[in-house]
Structure 1
Amino acid sequence: MARLLGPSDIRGLAESLNTAPHKKWGQNFVVDAGTVQRIARLSEVGEGDRVVEVGPGLGSLTLALLATGAEVTAVEIDPVLAGALPATVAERAPEAVDRFDVVHADALRVETLPSPPRALVANLPYNVSVPVILHFLETFPTLERVLVMVQAEVADRLAAPPGSRTYGVPSAKAAWYCATRRAGDVKRAVFWPVPRVDSALVLMDRRAVPETAVAREDVFAVIDHAFAQRRKALRGALATLAGSPAASEDALRAAGIDPLTRGEQLGIDDFVRIAEALAAART
């Protein structure tokens, strides 16, 4: 059984490596064993499941995931931490050494992994959380489930439905891939250093992407333009993308959408129809 890390273990490991949490990589280490056990339980991963963890730090969540029987690949940008992780696993979960890999890389540049992952479970660096989630969902179609700890405000945005105050680009793009919901709050005190913002868990279950003749990039371009000026009606917001306000209005009407609608009122299927109408107008 894996021996999980507590506050003194974390600080002792950091001291032995002559390191500390780095702000440039958005590092906030989880020092509470109960929190990582909770995350592992909510992820519902188990024996034989292939899990990718981004930003494992000193290994708190890594050990909890290995304790479930899962196979874990940890992606770590910090060379010191990436180099130390195998020794931590060997010491605290020797029975799991054969189920663990570490990849020293920037998660936003990862294109391949030792094995195709079924789940992404991570305490993500706040500054890159949404790009990392979207990159992994696009790059690894085998991902069925994502459970990540992010800034509470980001969690709200990812899980927001159309029409809500927090609905925006992350919400719409996440909906292309997944059904998303908040899975609970996380207290600031479980981190070292203690962050100035609240954290929350987000659970994302893969769904079939919308059926469309246009590329995902075309749909995402519509989303980006629709929210670039949030209070602007779509007729104006999409004018640059369409070529003119008149062309924008024609495409919106062809998609069955009132040109005076704002982006925050639309779901992913609406954005797909707009992208299709814009593509049809160009042919």
Structure 2
Amino acid sequence: MDDNTAQVNATDTTTQTQADPAETGHLLGAADIRRIAADAGVSPTKKFGQNFVIDPGTVRRIVREAHVGPESHVLEVGPGLGSLTLAILETGATMTAVEIDPPLAERLPSTIAEFMPEASDRLKVVNRDALTVSPVNLPDFADADKPFTLVANLPYNVATPIILTLLERFDNLDSFLVMVQKEVADRLSAAPGNKIYGTPSVKLAWYGEAGRAGVIGRNVFWPAPNVDSALVSFHRGETRGSEQLREATFRLIDAAFGQRRKTLHAALKKTVPAGAFEAAGIDPTRRGETLTIDEFVALAQAVLDAEVTA
């Protein structure tokens, strides 16, 4: 993260919560989280990458950074015990929470009914692996003319695949604000030439623009993770091309970063025909880590054009 990015801790965010009179809901604190977990017989598991947020100020900050309001249609992945879910519902938004863990999915509606009963009719809970969701099994998000936003404390072990899968399958996923491992946040928002710029950075750039939105302290979680956390914001851009072009571009990205120490000519010799580099205006002695998404797209288009004329 940037050196001037403020570290967020429980004291800071609680102060922010008290300062805003519009925030009136009962959100979950540490005692609430532990009591709900005990009642439900739930223990955080490494299998699902579960670390539950126990600070109301942190989840309110996430919701503010995501610009969620009464008109928002929100998808949350990995709601856990409901900390962020309640903060989203507090704004008046309508939402669907996708939870992979059956006991947690079953418990969540009861938690909302207890702490924010007036919001119960604005929440749907789907017990499913987020990597398997699509407009078919999430029909509330199937209308391409109705944009929605993703707001989530993502399971750290599968955060990047979840983001890229949702962006691929839902053209109307217009923006997101997610909490992920700090290292992942840095990679998702890295620029060309940076040593951590890689496959996730470029593939996310196909869809739009990502940026870092702050650091989250370890003390706001139960159990406290062994890694730092950070927020990543994203806004979808204009469509770059067809699905065929996207697939061709992603193949080049995978190949280039699969051998990132090699030049493009060496790393892509099996996939890029003679003349494609020149047609795309790209020096083949460069390495993949120096190319922007636009350059990868231009090279992929040159490859497709060469296949047509071959």
| TM-score, with length taken from structure 1 | 0.95
Separation (CA, whole Å) in 1 of partners of 2:44 and 2:216:
19
* Contact 1:214–1:275, Cα closer than 8 Å, also in 2: no
Q: Partner residue of 1:264?
A: 289
- Which sections of structure 2, spanning at least 5 residues, go unmatched? 1-23, 142-146
Which residue among 196, 217, 225 is the counterpart of 2:255?
A: 225
Q: Partner residue of 1:41?
A: 64
Residue identity matched to 2:296: F
Structure 1 residue 25 corresponds to structure 2 residue 48: yes
Separation (CA, whole Å) in 1 of partners of 2:120 and 2:71:
14
Structure 1 residue 151 corresponds to structure 2 residue 200: no
Q: Partner residue of 1:5?
A: 28
Name the structure, 1 or 2, with higher relative contact order (CA <8 Å, separation 6+).
2
Separation (CA, whole Å) in 2 of partners of 1:181 and 1:33:
24
* Contact 1:31–1:60, Cα closer than 8 Å, also in 2: yes
Separation (CA, whole Å) in 2 of partners of 1:28 and 1:240:
43
Separation (CA, whole Å) in 2 of partners of 1:193 and 1:81:
16
| TM-score, with length taken from structure 2 | 0.87
Task: Report the identity percentage.
Answer: 56
Which residue among 151, 170, 173 is the counterpart of 2:200?
A: 170
Structure 1 residue 193 corresponds to structure 2 residue 223: yes
Q: When the two structures are aligned, how many residues end up with a matched partner?
A: 278
* Contact 1:51–1:72, Cα closer than 8 Å, also in 2: yes
Distance change in 2, residues 1:124/1:213 (3 Å): closer
What is the CA distance between 1:54 and its match in structure 2?
Answer: 0.2
* Contact 1:180–1:202, Cα closer than 8 Å, also in 2: yes
Structure 1 residue 210 corresponds to structure 2 residue 240: yes
Moved over 6 A (4+): none
* Contact 2:134–2:169, Cα closer than 8 Å, also in 1: yes
* Contact 1:230–1:263, Cα closer than 8 Å, also in 2: yes
Residues 119-160 of structure 1: CA deviation (Å, up to 9, x unaligned): 000000011101101111111111111100001011011111
- Which sections of structure 1, spanning at least 5 residues, go unmatched? none
RMSD: 1.3
What is the CA distance between 1:166 and its match in structure 2?
Answer: 1.4
